[in-house]
Structure 1
Amino acid sequence: MPVGDWQFSLALGIGELSNPLQGGDDIPLLILPYINYYGEQFFIENNVIGYSFYQSDQLVLSAIGQLNREKAFFTDWQPSHLFVPNFSDSMLTESDHKTISKDDVSKRKWAVDGGIQLNWFINQSTELKVQLLHDINQVYQGLNSQLALYHRINISDNAQLNLGIGANWHSAKLNDYYYGLDEKDQVGLSNYYQAEGGINPFVSLGFYYQLTSKWQAQIRFKQQRLSRKITDSPLVKDQQVTSAFIGVVYAF
């Protein structure tokens, strides 16, 4: 994109983000807005706002802020909501392990993460991204990080395949705030759970076909394996989070 230009796109299609929580509905992905802006140093990439204070042909080091995703699983997503911005150290035995619905615990808050992002463009097709973030609005008072490798394969002049592999690390304070259970949740002492830090690996796949200068067809898939420190929580029913989308994108 030219420096200083805004890009607005809208994806229309059918998709879903799975919800790993007990009592949680899967999140529909039907209408997805994209907003991008790249200035000399300031940039916006959808829900990420950043400022690049070091740039070279291969390395970009930025300060960023973004919304933490975990709260989305605790939100009720009805059909009218079309937009969308992981065994245990517990003392419970299997017979004591009661499932707890997200609707029966205290409300979790949205967290805004801020920190450092490094983009290393290894070559024109391969990028390594590293993030280290802390919640700047002091919701869970912890850290999270990401290490991801992305590779683009140009199938033809109009078709492109993007492959990704990586992992997100959550600190104990992050996992315990969202997936732990204690007196504030009023679930009974036998159901208390204290989550520790863990690593959540993921893989992603995206296929893009340029139909015209304005229209593009997309198929996207991502699956993240949740750490045992998350899946051992009575709040959690699934061991992974999966998102899939198929549709078209119009660039304004």
Structure 2
Amino acid sequence: MMRPPLLSLLYCCLLSLVLLWSDLALAAESTEGGADWRLSMAVGVGRYGSVLRDGEDIPLYVLPRWSFYYKRFYVEDLDLGFNLLQSGHWSFDLTTKQSFDALLLRGSSLGNAFFSGLASANIPIGVPFGVDPKKLIHPAKRTMSYLGGATLYWQNQDWQLSSAWHTDISGVHRGSEWENKVRYQQHLGPLDLALTAGARRLSSSYSNYYFGVHKQDNDFHYQYEPGAQWLPSLKMESRFPLGKDKQLVASWKREWLPKAYDKNLFFDQRHQDIWFVGVSWAW
């Protein structure tokens, strides 16, 4: 199947960045001071909240993070970037990112959530005599996707604004995401505080794949497509130094799901919380 021109271009950009990464890694070994590696590890306690009916939160105890910077190219965990333009407070980057929305719909929890939602939704369904209704529910696995696109940044002292558009370059759902963020950072002596407000606009293909009900998910012939949706979010972060290369960190993020997602029957609540408190070491 022939890919659309834009998708082919983004595949080429991603491949170029991967090849550039290989070249720069070799250059970093041979050129002292030519590259900047950063590695940190946070140990503590936290939770990745579940929004599914009968779902369970995922405990968080260790959060590793690594990055690599070389001139205009950078890698941050699973994300890649290349700065194309920079002028004053503005910058424009080619960027890729990992989508984690599949984690909201984890394995067998999705089937249990769908059955609980179906049982409480008063939807007339036909169940063959003597057949366990649960055997007629078999949600298809939602796969994590990888996105490629571009990000526009503006920064002035303690304020930062960003607007990023990314499309699926992994062939999972072929949808796109438009994410906008406003971040404010305040320094109170040694204590750093940051507040970030954001909103993601998921295209119909993206939203339907992860948050819709497909015909292969059940034998009740129940289907639902929510279409394009906005998902707003709020994040708070704090850091306090405990010594050289060590600091106390705390973060909390909440993302709100749109009311339209209630009709997929998966969700027990329409907001997800992710929080963590611990000590971070940097190298």
Using the size of structure 2 for normalisation, the TM-score is 0.76
In the alignment, does 2:171 pair up with 1:138? yes
Partner of 2:183: 150
**Are the aligned partners of 1:197 and 1:229 in contact in 2 as well (CA < 8 Å)?**
no
The 3 A distance-change label for structure 1 pair 176 and 216 is: same
2:243 alignment partner, SS class: coil
Partner of 1:11: 42
In the alignment, does 2:252 pair up with 1:218? no
In the alignment, does 2:145 pair up with 1:118? no
1:138 alignment partner, SS class: coil
> Which residues of 2 match residues 228-239 of structure 1 at below 5 A?
228-239=259-270
1:230 alignment partner, SS class: helix
After superposition, give the CA deviation of every residue in 1:130-181 in whole Å (9 maximum; x if it has no partner): 110100012111111111100100000x211001111111111111111211
Choose from 45, 49, 59 the match for 2:90: 59
> For residues 31 and 37 of structure 1, what CA distance do their matches in structure 2 show?
20
> For residues 124 and 197 of structure 2, what CA distance do their matches in structure 1 show?
33
- The one-letter amino acid paired with 1:130 is S
Q: How many residue pairs are counted as aligned between the two chains?
A: 230
**Are the aligned partners of 2:53 and 2:268 in contact in 1 as well (CA < 8 Å)?**
yes
- The one-letter amino acid paired with 1:124 is Q
Select the structure of larger CA radius of gyration.
2
Shift of 1:6: 0.4
Partner of 2:217: 185
1:232 alignment partner, SS class: helix
After superposition, give the CA deviation of every residue in 1:8-42 in whole Å (9 maximum; x if it has no partner): 00010100111222343322221111112222111
After superposition, give the CA deviation of every residue in 1:94-130 in whole Å (9 maximum; x if it has no partner): 52189x9xx8301111210111111111x12110011
Structure 2 gap ranges (5+):
1-32, 109-119, 126-133
The 3 A distance-change label for structure 1 pair 63 and 187 is: farther
> For residues 43 and 229 of structure 1, what CA distance do their matches in structure 2 show?
37
The 3 A distance-change label for structure 1 pair 43 and 162 is: same
Shift of 1:76: 5.2
1:174 alignment partner, SS class: helix
> Which residues of 2 match residues 1-252 of structure 1 at below 5 A?
4-75=35-106, 94-96=121-123, 104-121=138-155, 123-156=156-189, 158-189=190-221, 191-252=222-283
Using the size of structure 1 for normalisation, the TM-score is 0.85
- The one-letter amino acid paired with 1:218 is V
> For residues 187 and 237 of structure 1, what CA distance do their matches in structure 2 show?
22
> For residues 159 and 34 of structure 2, what CA distance do their matches in structure 1 show?
22
RMSD after superposition: 2.2
Percent of pairs identical after alignment?
A: 23
The 3 A distance-change label for structure 1 pair 30 and 139 is: same
After superposition, give the CA deviation of every residue in 1:204-252 in whole Å (9 maximum; x if it has no partner): 1111101112111011011111112323311222200111110010002
Which structure shows the higher helix fraction? 2
